[in-house]
């Protein structure tokens, strides 16, 4: 049985529900028809936008941001740049909050929500970096001085998530916390943090333990969201999706790099490790976890081997992903069937 708009109007007229409750029911029904419930059984729900109007608004927001920051740059060039940017970024956060109230809480838009989350994260970090003097006029950044701004940014993004429940905020919050962890470990060991070192530092020592532990903790939180919503009809599973995207590289970094630095036998173990990652991804029905791990592994191999054996790795991983994607549901049905009933009930149904 389905409720039609006429049924809701009749319920309001009869005093069974209020107009506000009827509006929320209609919005929920629209979300389930057009959003996450629109995916076919066995497909992992994923959406970046719900219509071209959202893209239209995102483009408008991008142009608005470009103009706004251009004006701030001009004003900063005429006076005290630090004061101008501090006031400007504070006003930007207020503007983002006002836009979020309309586009997220009222209009429930997906793409603008992601863009506003990204803006909130970047602007918060920029403002905190100015306040803690970890950034200079010429764009220089003090890595050790950025630890506290990153931690506070993660907390601010967490507050943003509590208010607006944007699933993507989970990824932004996790990324900020991960950055703070990396910089903390670098400061403790005296290592220089560069783009290349972000991939290569985690083979041994505190970086190995720190990144692996962080990845496992994120994975645990992601599974908590997933198991609370096994049919994936709510924002809980969407939050889990984005946590998996960040957790996979953190887990793969340490193990894959440690094995890459070994001999032929260790590299054979790397293939076994990636197969185990694929096995976990199939059982929990998270392609996002696997694709994030695979993509990170490709980047890691390219940097660690300086291009040697790079093409064969791409070929092997690509072939494995295509084959697994084609037979995902059949493989998952076989893997999930032997599991205990209580665990199967907390996982997505196997088609």
Residue-wise pLDDT tens digits, 242-271 = 999 999 888 887 776 666 665 566 667 777
| 147-167 pLDDT tens trace | 899 999 999 999 999 999 999
Q: What is the pLDDT of residue 36?
A: 47
123 φ/ψ sector (left φ>0, alpha ψ -120 to 50, else beta): alpha
Residues 6+ away with beta carbon under 8 Å from 350: 42, 285, 329, 332, 333, 336, 337, 344
Q: Is the pLDDT of residue 338 over 70?
A: yes
| 315-327 pLDDT tens trace | 888 888 888 888 8
- pLDDT category at 219 given cuts 50, 70, 90 is very high
Q: What is the pLDDT of residue 147?
A: 86
- Burial readout 241-262 (b: 16 or more C-beta within 10 A, e: otherwise): bbbbbbbbbbbbbbbbbbbbee
Residues 6+ away with beta carbon under 8 Å from 196: 303
Which CA distances in Å does 217 have to 153, 159, 164, 174, 188?
19, 20, 24, 10, 21
State how far the Cα of 117 lies from the Cα of 163, in Å rounded to an integer: 12
Q: What is the pLDDT of residue 151?
A: 94
- pLDDT category at 8 given cuts 50, 70, 90 is low
* Residue predicted with more confidence, 195 or 15: 15
First to last CA, the chain: 24
| 26-39 pLDDT tens trace | 766 665 554 444 45
Q: Could you give phi then psi for residue 14, rounded to 5 degrees? A: -85, -5
Structure tokens at 302: 């390219």
Helix segments in the chain, DSSP class H: 5-13, 19-34, 52-78, 81-100, 111-131, 147-164, 168-189, 197-200, 205-228, 235-260, 264-284, 287-304, 310-326, 328-336, 341-344
| 63-116 pLDDT tens trace | 999 999 999 888 887 877 788 888 999 999 999 999 999 999 988 898 999 999
Is the pTM of the predicted complex or chain greater than 0.85?
no
Structure tokens at 216: 């496992």
Q: What is the pLDDT of residue 264?
A: 61
Using only C-alpha atoms, the chain has a radius of gyration, in whole angstroms, of: 23
Q: What is the pLDDT of residue 138?
A: 41
In a 3-state reduction of DSSP, which class is residue 62? helix
Q: What is the pLDDT of residue 139?
A: 47
Q: Is the pLDDT of residue 278 over 50?
A: yes
Structure tokens at 237: 């599973």
Percent of the chain past pLDDT 70, that is, above it, reads 77
Q: Please give the mean pLDDT across all residues of the chain.
A: 80
State how far the Cα of 79 lies from the Cα of 84, in Å rounded to an integer: 7
42 φ/ψ sector (left φ>0, alpha ψ -120 to 50, else beta): left
Q: What is the pLDDT of residue 319?
A: 87
- pLDDT category at 177 given cuts 50, 70, 90 is very high
118-127, 199-208, 314-323, 324-333: which has the highest mean pLDDT?
A: 118-127
Length of the chain: 351
Q: What is the pLDDT of residue 318?
A: 84
Q: What is the pLDDT of residue 35?
A: 46
Q: What is the pLDDT of residue 187?
A: 77
18-22, 94-98, 279-283: which has the highest mean pLDDT?
A: 94-98
| 225-242 pLDDT tens trace | 998 888 887 888 889 999
């Amino acid at each position: 049985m389905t409720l039609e708009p006429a049924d809701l109007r009749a319920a309001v007229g009869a005093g069974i529900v209020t107009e506000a409750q009827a509006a929320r029911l209609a919005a929920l029904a629209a979300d389930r028809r057009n959003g996450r419930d629109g995916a076919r059984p066995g497909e992992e729900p994923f959406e970046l936008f719900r219509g071209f109007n959202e893209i239209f608004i995102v483009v408008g927001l991008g142009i608005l941001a470009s103009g706004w920051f251009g004006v701030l740059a001009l004003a900063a060039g005429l006076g005290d740049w630090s004061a101008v940017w501090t006031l400007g970024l504070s006003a930007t956060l207020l503007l983002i909050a006002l836009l979020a109230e309309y586009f997220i809480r009222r209009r429930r838009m997906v793409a603008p929500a992601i863009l506003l989350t990204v803006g909130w994260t970047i602007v918060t970090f920029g403002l905190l970096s100015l306040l803690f003097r970890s950034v200079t006029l010429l764009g220089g950044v003090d890595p050790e001085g950025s630890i506290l701004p990153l931690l506070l940014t993660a907390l601010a993004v967490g507050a943003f998530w509590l208010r607006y429940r944007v699933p993507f905020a989970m990824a932004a919050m996790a990324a900020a916390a991960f950055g703070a962890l990396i910089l903390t470990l670098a400061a403790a060991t005296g290592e220089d943090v560069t783009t290349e070192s972000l991939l290569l530092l985690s083979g041994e020592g505190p970086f190995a333990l720190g990144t692996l532990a962080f990845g496992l903790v994120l994975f645990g939180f992601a599974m908590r969201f997933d198991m609370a919503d096994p049919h994936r009809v709510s924002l809980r599973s969407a939050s889990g999706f984005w946590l998996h995207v960040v957790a996979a590289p953190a887990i793969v970094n340490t193990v894959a790099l440690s094995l890459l630095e070994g001999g032929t036998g260790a590299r054979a173990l790397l293939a076994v490790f990636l197969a185990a990652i694929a096995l976990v991804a199939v059982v929990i029905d998270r392609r996002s976890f696997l694709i994030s791990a695979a993509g990170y592994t490709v980047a890691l191999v390219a940097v660690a081997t300086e291009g040697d054996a790079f093409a064969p790795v791409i070929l092997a991983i690509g072939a494995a992903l295509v084959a697994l994607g084609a037979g995902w549901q059949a493989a998952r049905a076989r893997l999930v069937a032997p599991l205990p009933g209580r665990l199967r009930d907390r996982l997505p149904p196997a088609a």
